A and B are shown apart, each in its own frame.
Chain A
Amino acid sequence: MKKLLLLAASLFLVLSFAVSAGAKTVTVGLDADPVSLDPHVQLSGGMLQLSHWVFDPLVRWTQELTFEPRLATKWERLDELTMRFYLRKGVKFHSGNPFTAKDVKWSFDRMRTGVDFKALLEPFEGVTIVDDYTVDIKTKKPYALLLNMATYFFAMDSKFYTGTDANGQPKDAILKIGESFALNNESGTGAFVVTKREHGVGLEMERFKDYWDTKSPGNISKLIIAPIKENATRVAALLSGDVDFISPVPPQDFRRIDSDDKVKLVTISGGRIITFQMNQNRVEALKDVRVRQAIVHAVNNAGIVKKIMKGTATVAAQQGPRGYAGYKEALKPRYDLAKAKALMKEAGYANGFEITMMAPNNRYVNDAKIAEATAQMLGKIGIKVNLKTMPKAQYWNEFDARASDMMLIGWHSDTEDSGNFSEFLMMCENKETGYGAYNSGYCNPKVDELTIAAQSETNLEKRTAMLQEIEQILYDDAAFVPFHWQNHSYGAKKNLQVKPIVNAMNFPYFGDMIAD
């Protein structure tokens, strides 16, 4: 017993004096930590964020939605189907292996076997190695978004991930369930090397000493990711100084953080559109364009942005935000209650009707509140709404079954391009091609035709015209109820320079962050 006490006491002493080396350590509080270290296991915002810290893509997006060379230093189009990329020399992986064309090809081939990436990579023929530092990327058809997709091409260390692990399993296995080598081990070229990971508790990373990007201004030597699920706690952790950076910031705390003199709030407009879809297959009345117009006119989306989102979103009237190819300046939000009532009358529904509505309550910022407000607004034009909200784990199954007349869905374009919205949300649902996979009950062949044509149109001017035409058709058809594009929000201590490292994709580039 005495020995045990002594042991405990000495442990106590040793640990309480063990002060961590305090050179520019930044702790980041996120609502969840990445599910894996394997960039190909799941296509989600969290995994892409991690990929930008630990790995590097061929090119990446800048704040202005232009391309910045990363592992590719330059690129040129050889013909309609082929793009040649010249790779950076002298880049090292965390394992010490040199980065070459082989790793690009290897990573691409691995990525396309991942179930989450299959659909996105469908247009690609493959990668061919020209020499050690040159690759050609080929598509099956002319494809306008090749560079956009190159932002997904993170290079993994082919040597490091080849062979079999301790369990006799190939190291490159992509496993959704079960232990895989890549789940817990990484070797990328990125600014940070993962030193410790415990799922649900956090992730610790240290700056890679042989990082190729010596011009990067970043000076964070240690980056810790701490999941803090509860909004109020995450904000409190920042205000109390326990963490240095948080994301997302709940709208109700914006003012609080903005007014505090030790921390600051940084927001940037994002590309995720929030919409309600109106199912014409379920409700006869919704087939009438006047009724759909009436609904769109009855919804005060500007009011929702102001009251519910506290100004932290951009009011929308179309799918893609400003900066996207299809954005059409002329399309304005159209809240007008009197007109909405008139339209209902004109359509012969002066007395209104009854519909059902469903929304998730933990997927998008304030999703359930938006749905409640919408239900109330529709009540004003005589549409009685039976609203049901539920956690996302249940919601998506309901959505798949198209279980309700109006369903809420938010969408962020994978390619940062307008076409992606229509492909998934607005094209006629087609089980074979997978188009319209998230379209509940709107179908216009003209939209289909234009969307498909835009995919392979490499003349950007013509392409822009097509995409804008789609937005106009959807606007006139009142194909969906547009709400807003969510802003991304970050709270940070004053000494962190956050503005330069954030972007519309919500991938904070911590490798380039400066701490004063």
Chain B
Amino acid sequence: MFAFIFRRILQAVVVMLVISLAVFAIKNQFGDPVRDLVGERVTPEERAQIAEKMGLNDPFFTQYGRFVRDAVTKGDLGRSFLYNKPNTEVIIAHAPATIELVFGTALIIIVISLPLGIYCALWPRRLLSRFTMSFSTLGVSMPVFLTAILLIYLFAVHWQVLPSYGRGKTVDLFGMGYWHTGLLTIDGIRHLILPCVSLSTLMLPLFIRLIRSEMMEVMETEYIKYAWAKGLSPARVWLVHAFKNTLLPVITVFGVQIGIMFAFTLLTELVFQWPGMGFMFLEAVNRADLSLLIAYMVVVAALFVFVNTVVDILYGFINPTVRITGSK
């Protein structure tokens, strides 16, 4: 068992090295960060001096070696040129906004897709079901960007009921300055509504359809027929027997989709000037903040690798065959 865990961790380390190397190798494609730090009047020689000071002129492996050494020994992922702070600090500061955005979106998806999905499965011929199904096709095919701008124009400009950009009033959650939350103020929640709704339009139709089809399938199974035959009340058959069994695949997909949703926050955050990680990433690309780009990609990769390694090791405990196939 020990050998198995050791091997998995070793693999994770190798994967991290390869990923960071790959990120490092493409970083020069994003442009020159010095350009963004200086005015247009600064001479090439002076720019070269700044680049030298920043260590951008060092050979590839010197830079890479320095990065790995600092990351491993000090947990230091370098310093953002754009924000002028350590990268880890910048990333941590931007994470809450994105997490809250995804949380709000997940909440909307759950609250709406569950009842609607069930309804559409039980009464597929009713007007509301037909309307939902055709409307959801529209939702899937509309780009998030467009939905977001449409929502802003309707709710912020035309009716003026919701704010158009930003997070609004935030509260320092634990008094330590790490987590500023918008969930505890009315203003903060009002600011959350439009971004969450526009982000949810992407996944909501998927879940309504998924729940509907799963539920319909379950309704045809033998044990449901048996439940009807036993004379159980419809509510009990639908909710306890059918719905519970519908949930299993839905939860699996939900887990995967939440991860994907983090990636989709990019455009939503741009449109709503939402100060989260997606926005931060786009800014870093635009302004050629290579240091932050590398740090961000390495952090994301590390998260994935970490989760996968833990899952693998857990599998090893649960199912010994995984361990055996892993060894020779």
Q: Which residues of A contact B (CB under 8 A)?
A: 8, 11-12, 15-16, 29, 35-36, 42-44, 115-116, 118-120, 176-179, 183, 199-201, 226-230, 232-234, 236-237, 239-242, 362, 391-397, 400, 414, 424, 431, 434, 437-438
- Whether B38 pairs with A228 at a CB distance below 8 angstroms is no
- Whether A115 pairs with B160 at a CB distance below 8 angstroms is no
> Which residues in A have their C-beta under 8 angstroms from that of B156?
236-237, 239-240, 242
Q: Return the contact of B54 from the options A36, A42, A177 (Cβ within 8 A).
A: A177
Q: Return the contact of B171 from the options A15, A43, A183, A227 (Cβ within 8 A).
A: A15
Q: Return the contact of A8 from the options B31, B149, B184, B186 (Cβ within 8 A).
A: B184
CB distance from A156 to the nearest CB of B (A): 18
> Given contacts A116-B41, A232-B149, A400-B44, could you give 9 more A-B pairs where the C-beta distance is less than 8 Å?
A116-B39, A118-B42, A199-B83, A199-B84, A242-B164, A393-B30, A393-B286, A397-B31, A438-B40
> Which residues in A have their C-beta under 8 angstroms from that of B275?
200-201
Q: Return the contact of B270 from the options A200, A201, A230, A237 (Cβ within 8 A).
A: A230
Q: What are 13 A-B pairs at a CB distance below 8 A?
A: A11-B184, A35-B82, A115-B38, A118-B42, A119-B43, A176-B50, A178-B79, A226-B165, A232-B271, A240-B156, A242-B165, A393-B31, A393-B33
- Whether B42 pairs with A393 at a CB distance below 8 angstroms is no
Q: Does B242 contact A (CB under 8 A)?
A: no
Of chain B, the residue at the smallest CB distance from A410 is B40
> Which residues in A have their C-beta under 8 angstroms from that of B37?
42, 176-177
- Whether B38 pairs with A362 at a CB distance below 8 angstroms is no
Of chain B, the residue at the smallest CB distance from A433 is B43
CB distance from B44 to the nearest CB of A (A): 6
Q: Return the contact of A396 from the options B32, B54, B85, B271 (Cβ within 8 A).
A: B32
CB distance from A307 to the nearest CB of B (A): 23
CB distance from A201 to the nearest CB of B (A): 5
The 10 tightest CB contacts between A and B, nearest first, are A393-B31, A43-B39, A393-B288, A240-B156, A394-B31, A116-B39, A239-B157, A16-B186, A15-B185, A237-B164
Of chain B, the residue at the smallest CB distance from A43 is B39
Q: Does B46 contact A (CB under 8 A)?
A: yes
> Which residues in A have their C-beta under 8 angstroms from that of B41?
43, 116, 119-120, 414, 424, 437
Main secondary structure, interface of A, reads loop
- Whether A240 pairs with B160 at a CB distance below 8 angstroms is yes
- Whether A178 pairs with B38 at a CB distance below 8 angstroms is no
Of chain A, the residue at the smallest CB distance from B44 is A400
Q: Return the contact of A394 from the options B30, B54, B164 (Cβ within 8 A).
A: B30
State whether A200 and B283 are in contact (beta carbons under 8 Å apart), knowing that A230-B271, A236-B164 are contacts in the complex. Answer: yes
Q: Does B8 contact A (CB under 8 A)?
A: no
Q: Does B60 contact A (CB under 8 A)?
A: no
Of chain B, the residue at the smallest CB distance from A9 is B184
Interface residue ranges of B152-169 to A (CB < 8 Å): 152-153, 156-157, 160, 163-166, 169
Of chain B, the residue at the smallest CB distance from A241 is B160
> Which residues in B have their C-beta under 8 angstroms from that of A116?
38-39, 41-42
> Which residues in B have their C-beta under 8 angstroms from that of A237?
156, 164-165
A183→B157 CA distance, assembly (Å): 36
State whether A393 and B166 are in contact (beta carbons under 8 Å apart), knowing that A116-B42, A119-B41 are contacts in the complex. Answer: no
